[in-house]
Amino acid sequence: MAENRALTFTDKRKLEEELAELVEAKKRVAEEIKVARGFGDLSENAEYDEAKAEEARVYGRIAEIENTLRTATFVDDSAVSTDIVSVGNVVRVLDLEFDEEEEYTIVGFTEADPSKLFISSESPIGAALLGAEVGHVVDVNTPGGLVRLKVLDIRRR
């Protein structure tokens, strides 16, 4: 995971909820390992191998979330500036090629939902828009090619 990510307080809450669920899962996995050990020879014990793999996944994700919570910068989306695009802003843009307007909400990675135009600040469009002001044109390298967007409006969520 990238260090020093900018996240919203909604992101923080979601990560804390996931962490609490993983702590409970850690207890369940420990019990599964204990039960699997009772099945005998560990070298050919599929249940034990599966439980150990789940333990590694759970512990890895816990470490990842704890690191993110420790190193992230949290943004109160209700207090963000509307002078430049940042996490927590709603940005109305004009696609210069197709002459179409879109409205993106710039969010942290846990809130991203492209179907609702909630885009992560780490996505190509989100990253390109960060720091832009009204009137600026940004070039975005997307999987579909270069997109040119003109910032029309910036507001709080």
Residue where a domain stops, chosen among 56, 75, 94: 75
pLDDT tens-digit readout, 100-111: 999 999 998 888
- Domain end, chosen from 32, 50, 75, is at 75
First to last CA, the chain: 26
Length, in residues, of the chain: 157
Q: What is the CATH number of the domain that holds 151?
A: 3.10.50.30
Residue type, 32: E
In the chain, the number of structural domains is 2
Q: Are 8 and 37 in contact (CB under 8 A)?
A: no
Shared domain for 11 and 70, answered yes or no, is yes
**Whether 85 and 126 share a structural domain:** yes
pLDDT digits (tens, 9 = 90+) for 2-46: 455 788 888 899 999 999 999 999 999 999 888 888 877 777 778
Domain span holding position 13: 6-75
Quote the pTM value: 0.70
Of 31, 58, 75, the position where a domain reaches its end is 75
Residue 1 lies in a domain: no
3-state secondary structure of 26: helix
Mean pLDDT score across all residues of the chain: 90
